[in-house]
């Protein structure tokens, strides 16, 4: 085993991790671990844009942005965190521009902005052009820019290195254990500060827009170490995944003027959100699509999808503003989107829940709000709760940039005051070695593909857009059985170099554990709120469920729930932020 020392170890090379690294680079010894090459991180797949009330295209304010974010979250977002994010958004965009992000431009030279679902002016009056973009490759260009800046400022990258566990001594996080995929050797990386920016976990569902690497490793490791996850029941299905593959068709397609039509050619969103129609929040649009299908108004021979009609935009607009969407439609569906509608269906897209943190990214240890010394998190793996029960489109990149930077700043201040990290104990190393030896030594055990297929089917059937008591109870029961089976996984490939079967098995064990947290939290939340839609409890219930659920895994694998209050601090001073029925 190799032992390495750094001031800061950041796990994950997406935009949250890179932004924190850029903030710390030059003054601290910063290492970034990624199981991929950094430029393959899933942040690069973000298409439509990044929100900020710049007011370049029309009047806009950060207060309107905060209102839309809180309302879109179905009032479960922590309002101080929302205020921090929305107030910082204009500065963050200008900073990205100065770092080199090539945003699309208006004729007057200012950064271009487009409408996006759920973003409005004057507290819901009408759609507003708030989302800054670079054609439909916004995440891609932001990734390249921050990666170049990280290299330029001396950040040390460990590519194709997979984190396996946290080092925790006397309650303080002081490093990670990882595996170099090329050689299979273990690395003990000691650090004074550790940040998780490990991304989302959509691969637990069969149909998803997530990359194959989005297996939620960070969340599984957090559970294994007795730390909580928050709001795990809220998983967003993007309304327009390319049918039947689930590849993302960005909301920018509707922001540019595309409309959803059912099999009868009707623009059906006028029925569900008469004011902003196709630009309603994603949870509403996804449920509306399924309502059309249940009513027999789907498209195609099986009436099992709807149509995204971009034909009114014209080929020039599509080619200049939505080039990736044009390419996806042609390559994967054999369709020219300027001539015929694109078949779409909701696809598992984004996780609102994750590792609970403060607005400075410090990981929260329990319902009392105590912090875990030496441990930070940001991005989709984290839950600072700016998205609550439902994230608005183009708020995700903003979340990564704003809170990635805040993590970097807070870590720098921590390091100025903190002493040397405590020495890493031998227990974590023994646990990692035992886990790997058990997988490699059980050649006749459960096979990864079969168990993973069972998990993804179960989550898609019972824990997706619509949920109910019987299905969730069944899901919890089946997941506990899958959890038992995952402890019996076997690996037939005993080599150490690029052993994909071994890493798949490790990832799958994490997937089963946090999936149980999702199902258990969804069963407990007996209401419908945001992306969590209970057919047996169709109404939102603020009296009993305006609260966050924390989920901790006991030693036997069972999930124990506790509660945290929702921060309603803006509502104390401004009545527009008081929870009320969402109307679009």
CB-based burial label for 224 (10 Å; 0-12, 13-18, 19+): middle
C-alpha to C-alpha distance for 81 and 402, rounded to whole angstroms: 11
Residue 466: phi, psi to the nearest 5? -110, 135
Is the distance from CB of 393 to CB of 136 less than 8 angstroms? Answer: no
C-alpha to C-alpha distance for 198 and 377, rounded to whole angstroms: 9
Q: Is 404 helix (H, G, I), strand (E, B) or coil?
A: helix
504 backbone φψ class: left, alpha, beta (φ>0; ψ -120 to 50): alpha
In sequence order, the 6+-apart residues with CB closer than 8 A to the CB of 57 are 106, 112, 113, 114, 129
C-alpha to C-alpha distance for 272 and 471, rounded to whole angstroms: 26
**E strand spans, 170-208:** 172-180, 186-196
Which residues are known to be catalytic?
282
C-alpha to C-alpha distance for 249 and 265, rounded to whole angstroms: 19
| Both tokens assigned to 556 | 């036997």
In sequence order, the 6+-apart residues with CB closer than 8 A to the CB of 83 are 66, 569, 570
């Amino acid at each position: 085993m190799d032992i390495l020392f750094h001031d800061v170890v950041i796990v994950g090379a997406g935009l949250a991790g890179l932004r924190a690294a850029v903030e710390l680079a030059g003054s601290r010894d910063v290492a970034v671990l990624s199981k991929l090459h950094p430029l393959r991180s899933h942040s690069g797949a973000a298409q439509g844009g990044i929100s900020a009330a710049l007011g370049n295209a029309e009047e806009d304010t950060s207060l309107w942005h905060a209102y839309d974010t809180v309302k879109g979250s179905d009032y479960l977002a922590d309002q101080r965190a929302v205020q921090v994010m929305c107030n910082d958004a204009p500065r963050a965009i200008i900073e990205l521009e100065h770092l080199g992000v090539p945003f699309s431009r208006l004729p007057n030279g200012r950064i271009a902005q487009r409408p996006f679902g759920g973003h409005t002016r004057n507290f819901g009056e009408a759609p507003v052009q708030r989302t800054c973009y670079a054609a439909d490759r916004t995440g891609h260009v932001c990734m390249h820019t921050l990666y170049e800046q990280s290299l330029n400022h001396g950040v040390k990258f460990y590519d194709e290195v997979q984190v396996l566990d946290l080092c925790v001594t006397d309650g303080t996080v002081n490093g990670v254990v990882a595996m170099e995929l090329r050689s299979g050797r273990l690395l003990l990386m000691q650090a004074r500060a550790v940040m998780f920016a490990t991304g989302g976990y959509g691969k637990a569902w069969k149909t998803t827009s997530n990359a194959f690497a989005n297996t939620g490793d960070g969340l599984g490791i957090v559970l294994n170490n007795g730390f909580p996850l928050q709001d795990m029941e809220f998983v967003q299905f993007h309304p327009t995944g390319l049918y039947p593959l689930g590849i993302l068709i960005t909301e920018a397609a509707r922001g540019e003027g595309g409309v959803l039509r059912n099999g009868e050619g009707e623009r059906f969103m006028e029925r569900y959100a008469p004011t902003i129609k196709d630009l309603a929040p994603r949870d509403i649009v996804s449920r509306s699509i399924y309502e059309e299908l249940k009513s027999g108004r789907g498209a195609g021979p099986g009436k099992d999808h709807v149509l995204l009609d971009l034909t009114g935009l014209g080929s020039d607009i599509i080619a200049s503003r939505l080039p990736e969407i044009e390419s996806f439609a042609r390559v994967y569906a054999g369709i020219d989107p300027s001539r015929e509608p694109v078949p779409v269906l909701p696809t598992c897209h984004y996780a609102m829940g994750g590792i609970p943190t403060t607005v400075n990214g410090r990981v929260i240890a329990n319902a009392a709000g105590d912090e875990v010394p030496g441990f930070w998190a940001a991005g989709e793996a984290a839950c600072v709760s700016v998205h609550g029960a439902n994230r608005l489109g183009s708020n995700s990149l903003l979340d990564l940039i704003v809170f990635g930077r805040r993590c970097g700043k807070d870590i720098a201040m921590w390091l100025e005051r903190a002493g040397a990290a405590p020495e890493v104990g031998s227990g974590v190393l023994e646990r990692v070695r035992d886990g790997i030896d058990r997988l490699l030594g059980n050649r006749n055990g459960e096979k990864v593909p079969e168990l993973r297929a069972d998990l993804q089917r179960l989550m898609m059937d019972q824990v997706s857009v619509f949920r109910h008591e019987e299905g969730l109870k069944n899901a919890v029961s089946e997941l506990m059985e899958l959890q038992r089976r995952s402890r019996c996984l076997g690996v037939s490939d005993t080599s150490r170099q690029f052993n994909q079967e071994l890493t798949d098995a490790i990832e799958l064990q994490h997937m089963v554990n946090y999936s149980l947290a999702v199902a258990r939290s969804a069963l407990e939340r007996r209401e419908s709120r945001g992306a969590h839609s209970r057919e047996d409890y169709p109404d939102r219930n603020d009296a009993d469920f305006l609260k966050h659920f924390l989920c901790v895994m006991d030693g036997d694998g069972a999930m124990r729930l506790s509660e945290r209050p929702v921060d309603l601090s803006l509502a104390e001073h401004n009545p527009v932020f008081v929870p009320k029925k969402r109307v679009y």
